[in-house]
Amino acid sequence: MSTDKVSVHGSWASRWVFILAATGSAVGLGSIWKFPYMVGVYGGGAFVLMFLACIALIGVPVMLAETLIGRRARQSPANALKVLALEAGHSGKWSWGAFAGMVTALLILSFYSVVGGWSLDYIIDMGRGDFQGVTPDQVGAYFGNVIADPWRLTLWHTIFMLLSAVVIAKGVVAGLERSLRIMMPLLFVMILVLLGYSMTTGHFMEGVHFMFDFHPEKVLDGLLPAMGHAFFSLSVGVGSIMIYGAYMPKNSSISGTIVGVALLDTFVSLVAGLALFPIVFAAGLNPSEGPGLMFVSLPFAFGNVAFGQLMGVVFFVLVAIAAWSSAISLLEPMVAYLVERTKVSRAWVTFWLAFTCWFVGLGTVFSFNIWKEAKFFVNEGGLFHLYQWGAAGGLDFFGVIDFFTSRIMLPLGGLCFVVFAGWVMGREAVRDELSIRSPVLFALSLFLMRYVAPIGILVVFAAQLWK
């Protein structure tokens, strides 16, 4: 029986450690950096509502599917799909879907590490007191200077990548638990402290309205980005949660655990948004400013309150740790796969993969400075150019990778996993692995995986085409 399988990469000591690791993977730059700026760009309430709906109806079922596939097969995503498909009498080619997911994870890591590097940079800047008493204009200019310097970005990108690779090389199971046990709760506390601060700015309700007032005309614009971000935020669609599921102890309940992780992640995103926007409004910043939003608004706040310098350092240390624990989960699926498939040691595999991601990440580094004018997919008055230097529209290199991964590959990966768990694995295998006692809850889980999530993904894609 497949339930007796053991992972060669080790396993978590308990269900609690899985929760810690999965939360560490889910909570990261996606909640603290990306969610607020996307809410800003896509106009507030409609985006938030779509995001929440996508988390509940699509993200959670996909997460459930990934975890149960991983735990049943106890191998890297590509091998897991292959083994389980063959066991169920289907084609081993299902593994290609998971393989595409693992490559997507590496592409995400390439830019994730660059932004993780910004947080490292800001720890030092905060500690030096660079933001003491700054005006909003000065913080904006400061961030502009940071990203205009390719050497500076490359340095921190390199350090961030190295820090992630070290843990992976040693083996995730050994390295993660110790670091996350204290840091994750601290991060929650720190974000709540920030929320407390934003309530004193006099602009709190403005922030609440911005995040929750619903404007139906904005729904279609934000739908695909919201779905993509739901995947990104929960770390699903690429095999990260699947590989963590593969290290999950046998007798722990999957559904309750997954819902808990999803709730924590969503909670952090919402609180981060509620903490940030009042500061943005108080400082007179532009909410649709894009990727710089957090790196401009928060230093302004820290620079202008008592003990802000210390709090700022602590905050950026925690953000860096949250980013680092997510980065690890992006690298682990492919590392596990190559360790299973080749005779090469974990350390070497990690080194080469991290190096490759680092190299691709240079494209993101340069998007903010020397390649700023390099634009892809430019639509100029109905005329389409694949590439054009200096065009007004189009996407830069970072934009292309972000678009391709979040909007296309993550949802497709999620579709593959959820259809696999719902239709390919077989009802009994799923029932056995989920071990839900209540028949109603089991039926609901299966219904979500079989119908709601796949149809939901297809509907969002279709709405985008029809728009």
- Contacts with ligand PFF by CB under 6 A lie at 25-26, 28-31, 105, 108, 232-233, 235, 238, 240, 326, 329-330
Name the residue nearer to ligand PFF (CB basis): 75 or 104.
104
CA–CA separation, 93 and 79 (whole Å): 10
CB of 324 to ligand PFF, least distance (A): 10
Query: 359, exposed or middle or buried, with CB in 10 Å at 0-12, 13-18, 19+?
Result: exposed
Residue nearest ligand PFF by beta-carbon distance: 30
CB of 327 to ligand PFF, least distance (A): 8
CB of 156 to ligand PFF, least distance (A): 17
CA-based angle 274:278:284, to the nearest 5? 145
CB of 217 to ligand PFF, least distance (A): 28
Name the residue nearer to ligand PFF (CB basis): 75 or 235.
235
Name the residue nearer to ligand PFF (CB basis): 421 or 446.
421
8 A C-beta contact, residue 315 and residue 295: no
Name the residue nearer to ligand PFF (CB basis): 75 or 304.
75
Residue 380 forms beta bridges with which residues?
383
Name the residue nearer to ligand PFF (CB basis): 26 or 279.
26
CB of 330 to ligand PFF, least distance (A): 5
Name the residue nearer to ligand PFF (CB basis): 26 or 153.
26
Q: Which of 315, 272, 357 is nearest to 30 (CA)?
A: 272
CA–CA separation, 136 and 280 (whole Å): 9
Name the residue nearer to ligand PFF (CB basis): 332 or 396.
332
**What DSSP assignment string belongs to 106-138?**
HHHHHHHHHHHHHHHHHHHHHHHTTTTT--HHH
Q: Which of 319, 313, 314 is nearest to 112 (CA)?
A: 319
Query: 426, exposed or middle or buried, with CB in 10 Å at 0-12, 13-18, 19+?
Result: middle
CB of 357 to ligand PFF, least distance (A): 13
Name the residue nearer to ligand PFF (CB basis): 33 or 371.
33
CB of 316 to ligand PFF, least distance (A): 15
Q: How far apart are the first and last CA of the chain?
A: 48
> What number of CA atoms fall less than 13 Å from residue 427's CA on the CB side?
7
Please, which residues have CB within 8 angstroms of residue 74's CB and are 6 or more apart in sequence? Answer: 5, 6, 7, 80, 246
Q: At what angle do helices 308-341 and 293-303 cross, to 10 degrees?
A: 150
Residue 384 forms beta bridges with which residues?
379
